[in-house]
């Protein structure tokens, strides 16, 4: 029997990372950049107003008399900082909105109304914020001085030509996507989402658009596992139920091997019913069924299929066991393929509220409800499975869970008040 760590190491060694492709930046969120993106031009590309106000020469509003040691403006965030009071009146000779393409030249002792992002007129070296003026339309009176460069975004303040905008290996978040757009890139070389194929097997299964007869059940696993794979960040193909003669099953598998980085087949381990698909799998590659020192989901399979040596998982038919195996082994594999630095769920320490039992010699993964103490902010956890006599297979209990209690192999029971490790799965509203 393999330990959880041994099985996980065996699986991650066989991980297949998709080849990088050029992807539209609109579709690249969450992917890992596979190239070093350099800026070809400065950003901003022209001097522009960092705040709504008036473009002026600082010297015309007493800027030369501003106190040393304290800056009159904050061009980085556009927020005006109090400065010494001054009264200077200048004629307003024009207006420049953001996006204007008409060049304008400022003469000494003149002002031009400008808006955030507007190109600065020639000779203007500062922006007088609206709140530092009387907001005049024909003439404006400055109540405070500004210095040269105040509230101005200079050429290249953000990025200079040749600067690295996004580095290879960076996960593309909203800021990186925005930066790619800012340097004029509409596509980026990135590692795509791993393609995961989900298949269910079992003669007792029917799809949800049919009424199950005696001895039949709905195909739950292909839907649940497909949703779990999408939540992990994969590009998912849900095949549904593989059925028919062995030749037909083989054709189904072969059709998807070359289009997948991961294959997941539920219902292919345990019982005589799985023998048919196991024979087909043996013809296509090397897939080993074994026991892992965990519960639920101890009996599972893993191997490589086809010439491409695609990692393939064989999961139990029980939905709870299948989802737990997915959480422990398949989700980390997907996250690693996406380049995530931490492929595992967040783990918190929580105080148990009820009695939970675990099997000796196996690591327990018990569905649970995680909460916070309103007074102490301590984590509290209520086990939804693992209690004496409680069924471990019920999917409804898993749907109520937002966490999983992780119990070491040498611990057989958790008592109320014990502190345990909890995998934080999702925030429930």
Domain residue limits, the chain: 4-18+193-338, 28-43+158-191, 46-63+87-148, 347-424
By the 8 A CB rule, do 43 and 182 touch?
Answer: yes
What average pLDDT does this structure show over 14-18?
A: 77
Contacts of 268 (CB under 8 A, 6+ apart): 201, 274, 277, 278, 281, 301, 314, 315
Mean pLDDT rounded to a whole number for the chain: 87
For the domain bounded by 347-424, which CATH number is listed?
Answer: 2.40.340.10
Other CB atoms within 10 Å distance of the CB of residue 177: 19
- The reported pTM is 0.76
The pLDDT tens digits of the residues spanning 213-225 come to 898 899 999 999 9
If you compute the radius of gyration of the chain from its CA atoms, what whole number of angstroms results?
A: 31
**pLDDT, tens only, 20-72:** 999 999 999 989 999 999 988 888 889 999 999 999 999 999 875 433 333 44
**What are the tens digits of pLDDT across the range 401-420?**
899 999 999 999 999 999 99
Residues in the chain: 429
For the domain spanning 28-43+158-191, the CATH number is 3.90.105.10
> Per DSSP, what are the bridge partners of residue 127?
55
Which architecture characterizes domain 46-63+87-148 according to CATH? Beta Complex (2.170)
User: Two tokens at 236?
Assistant: 């998912």
CA atoms within 13 A on the CB side of 159: 20
Q: How far is CA 202 from CA 244, 275, 284, in A?
A: 10, 11, 19
Name the token pair of 170. Answer: 């960076």
Homologous superfamily of the 4-18+193-338 domain (CATH): MoaB/Mog-like domain (3.40.980.10)
Q: Tell me what percent of the residues of the chain surpass a pLDDT of 90.
A: 59
Integer angstrom CA distances of residue 86 from 142, 150, 178, 219: 7, 16, 40, 77
Question: Per residue in 139-195, pLDDT tens?
Answer: 999 999 999 999 999 998 888 898 899 999 899 999 999 999 999 999 999 999 999
164/120 Cα distance (integer angstroms): 27
Helical segments of 214-369, H only: 221-232, 246-257, 275-284, 319-325, 331-337
């Amino acid at each position: 029997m393999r330990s959880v760590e041994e099985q996980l190491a065996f699986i991650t060694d066989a991980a297949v990372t998709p080849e990088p492709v050029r992807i539209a930046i609109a579709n690249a969120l969450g992917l890992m950049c596979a190239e070093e993106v350099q800026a070809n031009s400065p950003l901003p590309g022209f001097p522009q107003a960092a705040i709504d106000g008036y473009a002026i020469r600082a010297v015309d509003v007493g800027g030369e008399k501003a106190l040393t040691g304290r800056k009159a403006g904050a061009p980085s965030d556009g927020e005006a900082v109090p400065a010494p009071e001054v009264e200077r009146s200048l004629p307003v000779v024009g207006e420049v909105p953001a996006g204007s393409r008409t060049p304008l030249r400022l003469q000494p002792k003149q002002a031009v109304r400008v808006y955030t992002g507007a190109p600065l007129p020639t000779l203007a070296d500062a922006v007088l914020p609206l709140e530092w003026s009387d907001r005049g339309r024909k003439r404006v009176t400055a109540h405070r001085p500004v210095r040269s460069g105040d509230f101005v975004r200079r050429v290249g303040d953000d990025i200079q030509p040749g600067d690295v905008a996004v580095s290879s290996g960076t996960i593309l978040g909203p800021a990186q996507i925005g930066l790619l757009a800012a340097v004029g890139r509409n596509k980026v070389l990135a590692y795509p989402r791993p393609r995961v194929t989900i298949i269910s097997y079992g003669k007792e299964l029917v799809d949800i658009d049919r009424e199950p007869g005696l001895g039949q059940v709905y195909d739950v696993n292909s839907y649940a596992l497909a949703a779990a794979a999408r939540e992990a960040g994969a590009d998912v193909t849900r095949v549904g139920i593989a059925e028919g003669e062995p030749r037909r099953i083989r054709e189904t598998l072969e059709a998807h091997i070359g289009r997948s980085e991961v294959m997941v087949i539920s219902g292919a381990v345990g019982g005589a019913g799985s023998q048919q698909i196991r024979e087909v799998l043996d013809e296509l590659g090397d897939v080993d069924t074994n026991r892992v020192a965990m519960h639920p989901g101890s009996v599972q399979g893993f191997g490589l299929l086809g010439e491409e040596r695609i990692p393939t998982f064989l999961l139990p038919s029980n939905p709870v066991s299948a989802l737990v195996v997915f959480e422990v082994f398949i989700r980390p594999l997907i996250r690693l393929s996406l380049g995530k630095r931490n492929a595992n769920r967040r783990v918190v320490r929580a105080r148990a509220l009820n009695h939970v039992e675990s099997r000796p010699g196996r690591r327990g993964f018990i569905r649970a409800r995680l909460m916070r103490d309103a007074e102490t902010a301590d984590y509290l956890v209520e086990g939804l499975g693992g209690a004496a006599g409680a069924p471990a297979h019920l999917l409804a209990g898993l749907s109520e869970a937002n966490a999983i209690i992780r119990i070491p192999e040498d611990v057989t029971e958790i008592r109320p008040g014990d502190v345990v490790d909890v995998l934080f799965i999702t925030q429930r509203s």
